[in-house]
Amino acid sequence: MYQRILAPLDGSPLAEQVLPYVVKLGLSNGTPVTLLRAYSIPSVGLEDTSGMYLEQIIAAYMAEAQAYLKRVGDVLGQAGLAISSVVREGEAASLLVGEAETVPGTLIAMSTHGRSGISRWVMGSVTDKVLHAAACPMLIIRSSRVEEPADEQDDERGKRWTGPVFIRNITAPLDGSDLAEKILPHAISAAKGFDVPVTPVRVVTDPAKHAEATEYLERASANLREQGVTCPGGTLLRGEPAEALLSMLQAQPETLVTMTTRGHSGIQRWVLGSVTDRIARYSGTPVLVVQGE
């Protein structure tokens, strides 16, 4: 399904919370992984720094970033993944989007927070920029604050990097359009990767559409089973789409939501800034976003 998984890291435990998902998907599909770290040289206090000393500072930043990615890569490599790494100076979002474009079929996998809790990658910052700019699929993990023991060893930290993934179901919200249904191959791939069922979901606001929506979900469920995944049946929700989906996900925290960024025959009913954007921001569950066309 994917030619590569691209995982940006900033050295913090919050950003590293995406790694178990990367490991699970990478191993299940035999997909190589590229780790990326962006760094920037602070300008404050360096105005009068000589060229030679500035080069040493840059080299130190580069060396620290490379050493960190090597430690992570060694652990993931021992788990059986093919690992490469990229270290570049510059703005994280731009570098990430640019790197993703170098390999067609890249899946970006990243956490929504980073750098030790100051929300450097919180929605509205790097993740938000990448979500709106990247043309490739994107897996967004809502990280949670963790205590990092001062004396923690690399092997103990590595257990978190390759630890279990608590996904019990894949949810695929659909609105009946071809654009929304472009998510289904990705939902099927994720279901096989995590070895969990897929549940198609449709939200209706008009009671007169209930019968039609139910038939649609039955067809979608049958199609999913034909593709070799478990599907217990569809879920019909009523109300405003984003609110209905968010309410459902609050009761199902171990769900991966798979969504396109558009739906309903090109009128951008689910365009970023609407349903998909609200789910990515507020659901608290992992979200796999695929750009619709």
Whether the predicted pLDDT of 28 surpasses 70:
yes
Q: Can you name the residues that pair with 106 across neighbouring β-strands?
A: 4
pTM: 0.87
Pair 198, 230: CB distance under 8 Å: yes
- 174: part of which helix (H) or strand (E)? strand 169-174
Write down the pLDDT at residue 154. Answer: 64
Mean pLDDT of 177-204: 94
Pair 186, 216: CB distance under 8 Å: no
Select from 181, 197, 175 the least CA-distant residue to 264. 175
Mean pLDDT of 66-92: 95
Give the contacts of 264 (CB within 8 A, at least 6 positions apart).
175, 176, 177, 179, 180, 270
Write down the pLDDT at residue 57. Answer: 74
For residue 179, give the amino acid letter. L
| Location of each CATH 3.40.50.620 domain in the chain | 4-161, 169-290
The pLDDT-based confidence of 22 (bands split at 50, 70, 90) is very high
Architecture of the CATH domain 4-161: 3-Layer(aba) Sandwich (3.40)
Write down the pLDDT at residue 125. Answer: 76
Mean pLDDT of 83-110: 94
Bigger pLDDT: 27 vs 12? 27
Whether the predicted pLDDT of 292 surpasses 90:
no
Angle CA 70–290–93, to nearest 5: 45
Share the mean pLDDT of the chain: 85
CATH of the domain spanning 169-290 = 3.40.50.620
| pLDDT tens per residue, range 225-268 | 999 999 999 999 999 999 999 999 999 989 999 998 764 443 34
Give the contacts of 41 (CB within 8 A, at least 6 positions apart).
54, 57, 58, 61, 89
| pLDDT tens per residue, range 39-78 | 877 655 555 555 566 677 778 888 999 999 999 999 999 9
Tracing tokens 């993931």 back to the chain, one arrives at 76
